A and B are shown apart, each in its own frame.
Chain A
Amino acid sequence: MRSQWRLAGALLAGALLVTGCGGGGGDTSAAGGKVNLTFWDWDPNMDKVVDIWNQAHPDIHVTLSNPAGGDQLVSKMITAHQAGNGPDIAKVEYQSLPALVSNQVVADITQYTADTVKDFDDTTLKATRFDGKVFGVPQDVAPLMLFYRTDIFDQYGLKPPTTWDEFKQAAADLHAKAPQVAMTNFDAADPGWITGLMQQGGADWWSSTDNKTWQVAINSAASKKVADYWQGLVTAGTVAKNPSFSPQWNKQMNEGQLATWISGAWAPAQLGGIAPNTKGKWAVAPLPAWTASDKTTGIWGGSATTVTTDSKHAAEAAQFASWLNTDDKAVTAQIQNINVYPAATSGRSLPILSSPPAFFPNQADYYDLVKQVAPSSRSFSMWGPDVTVTFSGYTDKFGAALQNNTSFATALDDIQNATVADMKKLGFTVG
């Protein structure tokens, strides 16, 4: 009896060991010196760019996969890292990079990118270089801009607003003339756009003066000014309040029930999937300003190509990341297929930028406008190390505020408290 139990126990323990140890690693390198790299990226048409690399580099093969986009990919990367089977290369939005560095998911590639970084200006590099260490090669910059429907603006006699006061007035005018069309949509689903608006409004959610202590100012006066402005529009009923990238929102976009979309420079590539009927009906204008003639804007997204700490071929992975974002051929293919506005200085003078994105055939000077706006885009001093908590706080608290008509300013207080509590729990010094 007893020996049987012991045997069964031994067998089980053996089985557990076998299954437990079998998981990690994953062979990324095939025999014969050929290196295989996996690349996680959610850009539409990125496969065309990766094909160019694979044809030119027979000894380093990159396999593209798209397991999730944006914030969801960040969760997946952290989970995959804990299981030891992350990809070699991954697209990471700037706002998530410090969190991934802090979780030790993304590797320091300073030694492989000494030449690459020369192709970027300091403002761009600030998003991927912390404390002198490079954690990713910037892919694109995405200044926040005002995308508007030229046909709707013409029909109701509106002009692209240049200040937020004008925007509010235009929203009210439009609402009076066409109650079924909202000026824009206030979105509680994607934190990226509101942080962009906060940046434009002068907020600095995370900063540090001594490189040791964090200052967290999510509920600062500047943030509340922006929140109160939007609360006013929501209360007046002149803007819609559905989650973006939802079936409801897609349909409203496609059927012309939303006159504008405040979005990043990458919007044209996305609009094709969201609102296919609206090709050629959009144009872009600079984001309305808080005070007339102030050119400051914020950013929504913008990404870096990173190498993970799980990669056994960091040098080759970094080589691909550098190629993807600085090689003229690669950047041209990205502009053409993904409509990125490149982060690399050399990429910004490529001839391809003189033709508009496919979805905006009516606006020949599209990239000229982006180019004009890009230098005055303002980010936070730094993104926090637990930005995921802040962002899930935004979706939940602002979602609830929209649902129950409660105060946006109080929601900001809640997010501030949750973020600081989490940072302290993890052991960060918060001043």
Chain B
Amino acid sequence: MAARNRAKLPYLLVAPAVALLTLFVVAPGVYALVLSFQARKVVGGLLGGGSKLVFVGFDNYGLALADPELWSSIARMLLVALLFIPATVGFALLFALLLDVPRVRLARSTRLAIFLPYAVPGVIASLMWGFMYLPATSPIGGDHVDFFGSTTVFFSVANVAVWGSVGFNMIVIFTALRSLPAELYEAARIDGCSELRMALRIKVPLVLPAIAMCTLFTALASLQLFNEPNTLRPLSNAVSSTWVPLMKIYEDAFVDSDVNKAAATSVLFVFAALAVSFVASRTVSRVNR
């Protein structure tokens, strides 16, 4: 009897997680899959006379893939990611290493200050930066520098994202640094190793798994880029309503009211994201070994 109960326990424990996953990920996913094979067609007459959903096979997928806007949005996302990923991981590592130097002062408050932007919701951060960029309201020289130029806009968007995510990644790397055995440092110091050499030769190689994990998180975050460009959009002509893939999907679904094409694009996007995560996590586990 007791053995049987014990056998049930694991299922009971994972049940809430499975239920939530099914309810909010699997079920909507299946619904999106169903939608992606359908299309709305009007019945007839000038104003359509009503409409019905018909099965259209892979038509929506064809339309989505043939849409040049989708490909430009992917290109723009990659450009932002190219700035966003190295800057986030680089600054996070730099700050973590600096905070780990024994003689550093005000370590606690500095750590909190660097972490704080992570606690600011993305929309609010983007609005705030938006006002800082706009010539009419900019306190940082927006009337001399065009933060919404055709090239600078990529830096402006990436900057908001970096500002928001450096703190979290710094904490991850800093925690990894703190868990390294202190004897290592003592030995290095006795051998006359400088702080800089210690950082580069001992600390960085040993926290490489944490750095790899941060890179993976940041790469996934750049796939989900939405809040920053979407909030900056009404402020400038530089950001279109289909600037990154998720904005394109949103636009299709809720502005152009073509939920079906949006569903097809979403399904494609999920597979692309899965592929990226798979490759990335393989790389990470190789680094960890």
Contact = CB atoms under 8 A, between A and B. Distances in A.
A427 B136 contact: no
In the complex, which of the residues B39, B45, B46 has the most CB atoms of chain A within 10 Å of its own CB atom? B46
Size band of the interface chain A makes with B:
35 or more
A18 to B, nearest CB: 11
Interface in B1-39: 8, 11, 15, 18-19, 22-23, 27, 39
A102 B137 contact: no
Contacts of A101: 47
Contacts of A403: 150, 237-238
Contacts of B238: 399, 403
B205 interface: no
Contact of A212 (B11, B22, B46, B135): B46
Contact of A428 (B48, B50, B150, B255): B48
Interface in B28-65: 39-43, 45-48, 50-51, 63
Contact of B256 (A16, A102, A389, A428): A389
A396 interface: yes
B86 interface: no
B15 A8 contact: yes
A12 B48 CA distance: 39
A153 to B, nearest CB: 22
A86 to B, nearest CB: 14
B72 to A, nearest CB: 10
A397 B238 CA distance: 11
B237 A399 contact: yes
A211 B18 CA distance: 54
Interface in B207-241: 234-238, 240-241
Interface residues of B, number: 42
B241 A396 contact: yes
Contacts of A312: none
Contacts of B18: 8
Interface in B250-289: 251, 254-259
B118 interface: no
A346 B23 CA distance: 55
A351 to B, nearest CB: 39
Contacts of A15: 19, 23
A16 B134 contact: no
A388 interface: yes
Contacts of A385: 42, 46-48
A212 B236 contact: no
Q: Which of A19, A385, A396 has most chain B Cβ within 10 Å?
A: A396
A395 interface: yes
B242 interface: yes
B42 A426 contact: yes
Contacts of A103: 51, 257
Interface in B58-107: 63
Nearest to A404: B150
A124 to B, nearest CB: 19
Nearest to A101: B47
B131 interface: yes
Contact of A98 (B47, B150, B254): B47
A103 B23 CA distance: 29
Contacts of B11: 4, 8
B235 A248 contact: yes
Given A248-B136, A392-B251, A131 B240 contact: no
B257 A243 contact: no
A214 B131 CA distance: 44
B23 A395 contact: no
A102 B43 CA distance: 10
Interface in A380-396: 382, 385-386, 388-389, 392, 395-396
B23 A16 contact: yes
A354 interface: no
A211 B137 CA distance: 51
Nearest to A99: B257
Interface in B134-150: 134-137, 150
A392 B241 contact: yes
B234 A189 contact: yes
Nearest to A135: B47
A422 interface: yes
Contacts of A11: 19
Contacts of B43: 427
A78 interface: yes
5 contacts: A211-B45, A242-B236, A252-B136, A396-B240, A425-B63
Given A212-B45, A392-B256, 9 more contacts: A8-B15, A16-B27, A131-B46, A131-B47, A243-B237, A252-B136, A382-B46, A399-B240, A403-B238
